[in-house]
């Protein structure tokens, strides 16, 4: 059986079997979902070994006919960029499932069904090499996430879920128009109409056509990232979502936007991208500083982490806007890093929320006294997120800033203050929650990390350290595809 198809089919098959399990057997449901997602990780990990770092183009390609009359295919394949995101998704899926073990007591079966469907959609998006298939997965992901937020979310879950859905749907509509227009262009200039991305890359589009298409795609992806000023769905959705939802939303879903840029917008419309790059860069820098400053002022622990994503994703889009090798490679690596660090932060706030059912920072303080191990892990997460060398965040930010510097010293000079502010809001959060005296009596009996909780954070901690200490292999994977993209800008 083809590897990638199997990887993609696994959560779907798991979902179908799950539906046959009686909903009352909650632990069996949990066990099954965890097992399926873990098996997915087991299936995805060997890709890292088998992946050929010296080859150009896509690997492990699976091709089947889908809608022949339209030229749409079921076409899967990966390069170094999608490899990282597939691995990230495969890792965060089981972690999110394991983290929800005790949190979801109502409609447990439906919850895990949504989680599996979500996993299917996310993997499909990063695997597809057919534009129509890509779009289908882009939409598939919306549905389970809508329900995850809307059913198992916090107090304002309905507002958040609808806002999330409509925001992204609005982007999708414009994206779909762009895709259809691109398909139309393909029909005019290619031998036969097709949605295959590598075929569409052969198009020599006129600049004004590129411009229209670039901005159509931009709307779809910028909302997903989200870039300022399309970001306000994010704090609501992240804050109200259950822990698993927040982890996957921040860890994977946001990357669908940046992935869209790097896989489609940049290589398909290189001249338009070059024209638009300064605008993207300015929006990114605004996001970096703006997100950080707003994070400083949050009173809600989870909302603070949510806003920090705006800032961190600003670094990712800044790297893309640099349109050069280190900028783009750094951006992809930073997408991976953000998946690790922010997931850690969301997991940790989730653990505390499960114990105390509040997220208000003012309700905490001095937790390090009762939860020293938690405090240790939280400290590592904080420093990983704020880009301390020898942890993962640094190397991504460093290469992004270097890439930006090559294009414009001014960009780098502004963006570099993001690392100061990033440390500021995280350290202040740490102080207000972990340090000081244990003032609130309700926090006195809080249990430290359980074994299950350790199991969710430990892989992320080790990965954060591994990338920080030895980042070389990660660049080795990215080198070929990134140089290929940069080559399209004709410099």
Partner 1 sequence: MNFLDTLWLIPMFPLLGAALMMLLGRHQFLDPQMKNSSVGHHHHHDRGHDQDLRPRQGPRWLIGPLCSGFVLLSFLWSLGAVFAGRSEQVLFTWVAGLPFPAFDGRMVTLTADWGYLLDPLSAVMILMVTGIGFLIHVYSIAYMAHDGGLYRYFGCLNLFVFFMLVLVMANNYLLLFVGWEGVGLASYLLIGFYFKRKPASDAAIKAFLMNRLGDAGYLMALFFLLSIFGTVRFTEMQAAPHPLLPWATLLLLAAAIGKSAQIPLFTWLPDAMEGPTPVSALMHAATMVTAGVYLIVRAEPFFRLTPEVGSLTAAIGAASAVIAASIALVQHDIKKVLAYSTVSQLGLMFMALGVGAYWAALFHVVTHSFFKAQLFLGAGSVIHALDGEQDLRLMGGLRHQMPQTFRTMFIGTLALAGWPGLAGYFSKDSILTSAWVASPVLFGAGLFTALLTAFYMGRLLFLTFFGPYRGDQNIHESPKRMTVPLWVLSIGSIGAGWFGTPFAGWLGATPEPHSWAIMVASAVVAVAGLGIAYHFYLRRPGTADRWEEGVAPVARLLRARWYFDDLYELIFVRGLARQGGDWLSAWDRRVVDGGVNGAGWLARKAGDISKWSDTWIVDGAVNLTAISVKLSSFPVRYLQTGLAQGYAFLIVLSLAAMAGWYLLRSA
Query: What is the Cα–Cα distance from 140 to 146, expressed in whole angstroms?
Result: 10
When asked if residue 406 is in the footprint of partner 1 (CB under 8 A), the reply is yes
- Sign of the Cα pseudo-torsion (167, 107, 102, 29, in order): negative
| SS3 assignment, position 102 | coil
Q: Within 10 Å of residue 192's Cβ, how many Cβ atoms?
A: 8
CA 328 vs CA 10, 13, 318, 446, 478: distances in Å = 31, 35, 9, 43, 9
Smaller CB distance to partner 1: residue 18 or 332? 332
Q: How many CA atoms lie within 13 A of 437 on its CB side?
A: 3
When asked if residue 476 is in the footprint of partner 1 (CB under 8 A), the reply is yes
| Segment near partner 1 (CB under 8 A); pick from 59-67, 188-196, 213-221, 472-480 | 472-480
CB of 405 to partner 1, least distance (A): 4
CB of 175 to partner 1, least distance (A): 18
Query: What is the Cα–Cα distance from 194 to 133, expressed in whole angstroms?
Result: 12
Candidates 368, 381, 460, 485: give the one binding partner 1 (CB under 8 A). Answer: 368
Query: What is the Cα–Cα distance from 418 to 413, expressed in whole angstroms?
Result: 10
When asked if residue 482 is in the footprint of partner 1 (CB under 8 A), the reply is yes
CB of 294 to partner 1, least distance (A): 5
- Sign of the Cα pseudo-torsion (288, 294, 296, 298, in order): negative
**Residues 54 and 481: beta-carbon distance below 8 Å:** no
Q: Which of 70, 76, 88 is nearest to 1 (CA)?
A: 76
Smaller CB distance to partner 1: residue 202 or 439? 439
When asked if residue 279 is in the footprint of partner 1 (CB under 8 A), the reply is no
Task: Enumerate residues 322-341 that contact partner 1 by CB under 8 A.
Answer: 324-326, 329-330
Smaller CB distance to partner 1: residue 137 or 164? 164
When asked if residue 412 is in the footprint of partner 1 (CB under 8 A), the reply is yes
Residue with tokens 């959560």: 11
When asked if residue 187 is in the footprint of partner 1 (CB under 8 A), the reply is no
CB of 486 to partner 1, least distance (A): 8
When asked if residue 489 is in the footprint of partner 1 (CB under 8 A), the reply is no
Please report, in angstroms and rounded to a whole number, the separation of the first and last CA atoms in the chain.
41
Query: What is the Cα–Cα distance from 338 to 442, expressed in whole angstroms?
Result: 32
Q: Could you give the string, one character per residue 194-233, with x where binding to partner 1 holds by CB under 8 A and - elsewhere? A: -----------------------------------x-xxx
Q: What secondary structure does DSSP assign to 274-318, as a single string? A: HHHHHHHHHHHHHHHHHHHHHHHT-SBHHHHHHHHHHHHHHHHHH
When asked if residue 483 is in the footprint of partner 1 (CB under 8 A), the reply is yes
Smaller CB distance to partner 1: residue 89 or 399? 399
When asked if residue 54 is in the footprint of partner 1 (CB under 8 A), the reply is no
Query: What is the Cα–Cα distance from 202 to 477, expressed in whole angstroms?
Result: 24
Give the strand pairing for 72-78 and 59-67: antiparallel
When asked if residue 410 is in the footprint of partner 1 (CB under 8 A), the reply is no
When asked if residue 383 is in the footprint of partner 1 (CB under 8 A), the reply is yes
User: b or e along 225-258 (b: 16 or more beta carbons within 10 Å of the residue's beta carbon)?
Assistant: bbbbebbebbbbbbbbbbbbbbbbbbbbbbbbbb
Candidates 392, 399, 433, 443: give the one binding partner 1 (CB under 8 A). Answer: 399
When asked if residue 77 is in the footprint of partner 1 (CB under 8 A), the reply is no
Q: Which of 424, 405, 423 is nearest to 413 (CA)?
A: 405
Q: What secondary structure does DSSP assign to 201-240, as a single string? A: TT----HHHHHHHHHHHHHHHHHHTTPTTS-THHHHHHHH
Query: What is the Cα–Cα distance from 347 to 352, expressed in whole angstroms?
Result: 9
CB of 358 to partner 1, least distance (A): 20
Task: Enumerate residues 347-366 that contact partner 1 by CB under 8 A.
Answer: 366
When asked if residue 173 is in the footprint of partner 1 (CB under 8 A), the reply is no
CB of 141 to partner 1, least distance (A): 21
Candidates 118, 395, 463, 477: give the one binding partner 1 (CB under 8 A). Answer: 395
Smaller CB distance to partner 1: residue 136 or 424? 424
Smaller CB distance to partner 1: residue 65 or 450? 450
CB of 436 to partner 1, least distance (A): 6
- What are 40's two structure tokens? 């997915």
Candidates 88, 99, 434, 463: give the one binding partner 1 (CB under 8 A). Answer: 434
When asked if residue 166 is in the footprint of partner 1 (CB under 8 A), the reply is yes
When asked if residue 369 is in the footprint of partner 1 (CB under 8 A), the reply is yes
**Residues 456 and 347: beta-carbon distance below 8 Å:** yes
When asked if residue 441 is in the footprint of partner 1 (CB under 8 A), the reply is no
Residues with Cβ within 8 Å of 384's Cβ and at least 6 positions away in sequence, in order, are 337, 340, 341, 344, 391, 392, 393, 464, 468
When asked if residue 290 is in the footprint of partner 1 (CB under 8 A), the reply is yes
Q: Could you give the string, one character per residue 414-433, with x where binding to partner 1 holds by CB under 8 A and - elsewhere? A: --xx-xx--xx--xx--x--
Binding site for partner 1 (CB under 8 A): 163, 166-167, 229, 231-233, 235, 290, 293-298, 324-326, 329-330, 366, 368-370, 372-373, 376, 383, 388-390, 394-395, 398-399, 401-403, 405-406, 409, 412-413, 416-417, 419-420, 423-424, 427-428, 431, 434-437, 444-445, 447-448, 470-472, 475-476, 478-479, 482-483
């Amino acid at each position: 059986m083809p590897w990638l198809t199997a990887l993609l089919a696994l959560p779907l098959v798991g979902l179908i079997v799950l539906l046959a399990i009686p909903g009352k057997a909650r632990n069996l449901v949990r066990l099954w979902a965890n097992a399926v997602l873990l098996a997915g990780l087991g299936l995805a990990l060997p890709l890292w070994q088998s992946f050929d770092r010296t080859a150009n183009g896509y690997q492990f390609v699976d091709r089947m006919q889908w809608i022949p009359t339209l030229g749409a295919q079921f076409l899967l394949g990966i390069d170094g960029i999608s490899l990282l995101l597939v691995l990230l998704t495969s890792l965060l899926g089981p972690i999110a499932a394991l983290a929800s073990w005790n949190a979801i007591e109502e409609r447990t079966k439906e919850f895990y069904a949504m989680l599996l469907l979500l996993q299917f959609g996310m993997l499909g998006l990063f695997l597809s090499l057919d534009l129509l298939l890509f779009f289908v997965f882009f939409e598939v992901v919306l549905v389970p996430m809508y329900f995850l937020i809307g059913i198992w979310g916090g107090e304002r879950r309905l507002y958040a879920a609808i806002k999330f859905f409509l925001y992204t749907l609005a982007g999708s509509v414009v994206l779909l128009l762009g895709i259809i227009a691109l398909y139309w262009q393909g029909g005019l200039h290619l031998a036969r109409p097709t949605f295959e991305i590598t075929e569409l890359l052969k198009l020599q589009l006129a600049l004004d056509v590129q411009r229209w298409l670039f901005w159509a795609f931009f709307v779809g992806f910028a909302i997903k990232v989200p870039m300022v000023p399309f970001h306000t769905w994010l704090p609501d959705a992240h804050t109200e979502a259950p822990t698993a939802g927040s982890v996957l939303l921040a860890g994977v879903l946001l990357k669908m936007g940046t992935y869209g840029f790097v896989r489609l917008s940049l290589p398909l419309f290189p001249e338009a991208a070059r024209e638009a790059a300064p605008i993207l860069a300015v929006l990114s820098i605004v996001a970096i500083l703006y997100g950080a400053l707003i994070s400083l002022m949050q009173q809600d622990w989870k909302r603070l982490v949510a806003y920090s994503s705006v800032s961190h994703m600003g670094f990712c889009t800044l790297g893309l806007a640099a349109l050069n090798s280190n900028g783009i490679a750094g951006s992809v690596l930073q997408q991976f890093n953000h998946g690790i660090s922010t997931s850690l932060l969301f997991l940790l706030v989730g653990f505390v929320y499960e114990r105390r059912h509040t997220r208000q920072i003012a309700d905490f303080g001095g937790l390090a006294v009762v939860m020293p191990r938690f405090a240790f892990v939280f400290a590592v997460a904080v420093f990983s997120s704020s880009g301390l060398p020898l942890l993962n965040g640094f190397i991504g930010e460093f290469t992004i800033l270097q890439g930006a510097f090559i294009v414009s010293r001014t960009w780098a000079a502004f963006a570099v203050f993001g690392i100061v502010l990033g440390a500021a809001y995280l350290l202040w959060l740490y102080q207000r929650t972990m340090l000081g005296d244990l003032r609130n009596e309700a926090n006195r009996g809080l249990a430290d990390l359980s074994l299950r909780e350790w199991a969710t954070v430990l892989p992320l901690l080790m990965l954060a350290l591994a990338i920080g200490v030895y980042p070389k292999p990660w660049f080795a994977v990215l080198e070929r595809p990134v140089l290929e993209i940069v080559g399209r800008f004709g410099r």
